[in-house]
Amino acid sequence: MAKLIPAADRIKRARKLIQQARTFPTPTEGLGKSDLSFVANVRDLLRQAKDMVKFIPQTAGVSEEMKEEVKSIYAEVERAEKDILS
């Protein structure tokens, strides 16, 4: 059975995944940022970050503050994708 991760830890892990996507090494040879492997790895890290916090707002007993944190994670993911892949 899967171990339950508290919401606060999920948010920390999501932010860590976003940071990993931002620091993922851009290929110096070939297509650079257009390299399919690079794009796939960055999008996978960002998808994992979204999945980490996806169900927090629907969980019973979660504060409004925590729900706002989830919204900010989604906004960070969108900004990171634009910054990294553009």
Q: What is the full DSSP assignment across 39-67?
A: HHHHHHHHHHHHHHHTTGGGSTT--HHHH
Sequence ranges of the domains in the chain: 7-24+32-85
Band of pLDDT at residue 29, cut at 50, 70 and 90: confident
Instruction: Tell me which of 35 and 1 has the higher pLDDT.
Output: 35
Specify the pLDDT at position 18: 96
Band of pLDDT at residue 61, cut at 50, 70 and 90: confident
CA–CA distance, 86 with 45 (Å, rounded to integer): 16
Please tell me the pTM assigned to this model.
Answer: 0.88
